[in-house]
Amino acid sequence: MRRLYRKKALSLVKELDAFPKVPESYVETTATGGTVSLIAFTAMALLAFFEFFVYRDTWMKYEYEVDKDFSSKLRINIDITVAMKCQHVGADILDLAETMITSNGIQYEPVIFELTPQQKLWHRTLLLIQNRLREEHSLQEVLYKNVLKGAPTALPPREVTASEPLSACRIHGHVYVNKVAGNFHVTVGKPIHHPRGHAHIAAFVSHDTYNFSHRIDHLSFGEEIPGIINPLDGTEKITSNHNEMFQYFITVVPTKLHTSKVSADTHQFSVTERERVINHAAGSHGVSGIFMKYDTSSLMVTVSEQHMPLWQFLVRLCGIIGGIFSTTGMIHGFVGFCFDIVCCRFKLGPYKPREVVLPDPHVNNRAAPLLTDNHVQE
């Protein structure tokens, strides 16, 4: 009984076989079929090879949500060179609540404003990258993927000590501010505190020494990430007017970056520039200097690196192989069918319908009897 049930089960499984086997004695191979098979296998191999590179590639996914972290501090990283002596300029930050941030983390370093040939090459390269980033925004994703492989964005130091006088001032460092709108500015005189706000001691600085030509080597918000190029990096402004005001209006967007190489909480920002000459007689009021007015966005962006899962790669690979196999089989069958029709037409000639003659009812259609040899002799 067990053997009988086993035979019935095997026969039932055989009936469910969706891949019936054809004996090799009934299979006929042709040269055209072999050619089509070779083309199909080559296409499968090439597409599978390219699909593997697609599987290895990654893309950046952007998600947006409301920034609920309002109690933390915002870090500002500054590296700017002004064409004035350090004893004549001062930098500080004043936020929306009229709170003056003590600039303990900012350092003043006497330097030469003109760049060395190596530094000029670095500066030109940085400007070219900035122009490409403005035209092709997708390049920012390349920087995100290769953050640790990127070159440092800081200005390379001078290799040779110059004999020229140190007539410029490099203001660099970082400060922590509240996450509210604020104003970072560099103007004439050192900042001082007083109950009604803040002021800069500019009375002892000659007006002829005013020169706010500057170069922004680096400006970023949040954690510094090597290889990331910010919008104002490499910006250089040259002026010959002593009463020039440079304004930068910055919108800071909190950003969480999660890639296979780094995970950091940083900030992106967009900027709008404006510059004008201070002329009180013409109605253009203000103070000469460099003013960076920033404001934080209420939205937070999460940038994460995505990778194709293995199961999706296998499904796409099976689709490529099965699709090419089925498509080439149908094309080969259709071409063979058309070829057979054309060959039969040339061998048998064009098909002509045969005329059918209808019998006449007035004519005797009885066939005459066939005479045999005996009847002929008689």
Residues 168 and 238 in one domain: yes
pLDDT, residue 378, reads 45
pLDDT, residue 215, reads 93
Low-confidence ranges of the chain (pLDDT < 70): 1-4, 13, 16-29, 97-103, 137-154, 160-162, 194-197, 203, 345-378
Residues 49 and 74 in one domain: no
Residues 52 and 128 in one domain: no
Looking at 244, 273, 293, which one is the last position of a domain?
244
Residues 86 and 226 in one domain: yes
Task: Please give the structure tokens belonging to residue 99.
Answer: 């709170």
- Asked whether residue 166 is domain-assigned, the answer is yes
Angle 329-333-337 from CA coordinates, rounded to 5°: 170
Looking at 218, 244, 270, which one is the last position of a domain?
244
Say if CB 52 and CB 77 are below 8 A apart: no
Integer CA distances (angstroms), 34 to 29, 37, 38, 185, 328, in order: 7, 5, 6, 77, 12
Beta-carbon contacts of 374 under 8 Å, excluding residues fewer than 6 positions away, are: none
pLDDT, residue 362, reads 58
- Asked whether residue 96 is domain-assigned, the answer is yes
Cα(275)–Cα(239) distance, rounded to whole angstroms? 10
Residues 87 and 143 in one domain: yes
- Asked whether residue 363 is domain-assigned, the answer is no
Residues 114 and 208 in one domain: yes
pLDDT, residue 230, reads 86
Looking at 187, 214, 244, which one is the last position of a domain?
244
Q: Is the pTM of this model over 0.85?
A: no
pLDDT, residue 248, reads 95
Residues 79 and 164 in one domain: yes
Residues 52 and 157 in one domain: no
Strand, helix or coil at 279? Answer: strand
- Asked whether residue 135 is domain-assigned, the answer is yes
- Asked whether residue 253 is domain-assigned, the answer is no
Residues 90 and 226 in one domain: yes
Q: Quick: pLDDT tens for 46-55.
A: 998 998 988 8
pLDDT, residue 251, reads 93
Say if CB 332 and CB 32 are below 8 A apart: yes
Residues 46 and 101 in one domain: no
**Residue 335 amino acid letter:** V
- Rounded (10°) CA dihedral 65, 66, 67, 69: -110
pLDDT, residue 358, reads 55
Distance from CA of residue 84 to its chain's centroid? 40
Residues 118 and 240 in one domain: yes
- Asked whether residue 341 is domain-assigned, the answer is no
Cα(113)–Cα(119) distance, rounded to whole angstroms? 11
- Asked whether residue 217 is domain-assigned, the answer is yes
What are the backbone angles phi and psi of residue 345, rounded to the nearest 5°?
Answer: -70, -40
Say if CB 278 and CB 188 are below 8 A apart: no
Strand, helix or coil at 115? Answer: coil
**Residue 24 amino acid letter:** E
Expressed as residue numbers, the domain containing 136 is 68-244
Q: Quick: pLDDT tens for 358-375.
A: 565 555 555 445 444 454
pLDDT, residue 171, reads 92
- Asked whether residue 340 is domain-assigned, the answer is no
State how many domains the chain has.
Answer: 2
Residues 132 and 205 in one domain: yes
